[in-house]
Structure 1
Amino acid sequence: MTHATGAHPPLQESHPDIFKRLKRAEGHLRSIITMMQEQRSCADVVQQLHAVEKAVCQAKRTLIKEHVDHLLEHLVDGQGDQQEILAEFHQITRHL
């Protein structure tokens, strides 16, 4: 996805950590499917779902925060089209 400056944003420092976290959540989701197939207790399944949900929400928040910071830097530095940057800001913050 391109952003307001017309290029892909640089890889942020936290992206490798977020990637690992999401891969771990992916594995947990597979485990949850197996747990359900094995008819494990609802409490066990829900506990695992909650852990996955928290991991995904934290990844989303971190990505949004970094992107908003990046957009604000562009506004302050006068880089890029202000209207385009503000439109992208509004688009990304809808997911908070």
Structure 2
Amino acid sequence: MPKAEPHVHATHPEIVKRLKRAEGHLRSIIGMIEEGRPCLDIAQQMQAVEKAITQAKKTLIQDHLDHCLEHTVGALPKEQRAPIDEFKAIAKYL
């Protein structure tokens, strides 16, 4: 079976950077818990990690919609693009 070509977009390095930063923060949170730090401090850091991961996910999904969906659908007349454009717009709220 032939090896598939890598599926890489321009935003992937940015996403990896965000996830690595979140990974570092997550390790810090584990340390904070083990040290018995205040729950408020831990919760604030957990919120920051959650936000970083959520943003990475949104970037990945939007990039996929902007590139992969466009590639699959191809060029369409303007009147046929409305459902696709609406789908891309509403997906930003996920």
TM above 0.5, one fold? yes
Alpha-carbon RMSD across the aligned residues, in angstroms, is: 2.2
Shift, 1:9, TM fit: 6.4
Computing the radius of gyration from Cα coordinates, the structure with the larger value is: 2
Question: Which of 14, 17, 22 is equivalent to 1:20?
Answer: 17
What residue number does 1:57 align with? Answer: 54
Aligned residues: 75
Q: Could you say if the C-alpha distance between residues 35 and 55 of structure 1 is closer, same or farther in structure 2, counting changes exceeding 3 Å?
A: same
Question: Which of 26, 32, 45 is equivalent to 1:35?
Answer: 32
Give ranges in structure 1 of 5+ residues lacking alignment: 1-6, 79-88
What residue number does 1:75 align with? Answer: 73
1:7-45 residue CA offsets vs partner (Å, 9 max, x unmatched): 656421111111011001001101100000001000100
CA distance in 2, matches of 1:34, 1:14: 31
Q: Could you say if the C-alpha distance between residues 15 and 64 of structure 1 is closer, same or farther in structure 2, counting changes exceeding 3 Å?
A: same
Amino acid at match of 2:46: L
TM-score after normalising by structure 2: 0.69
Q: Say which structure, 1 or 2, has more relative contact order (CA 8 Å, 6+ apart).
A: 1
Give % identity. Answer: 57
CA distance in 2, matches of 1:53, 1:9: 28
Give ranges in structure 2 of 5+ residues lacking alignment: 77-86
Amino acid at match of 2:74: V
TM-score after normalising by structure 1: 0.68
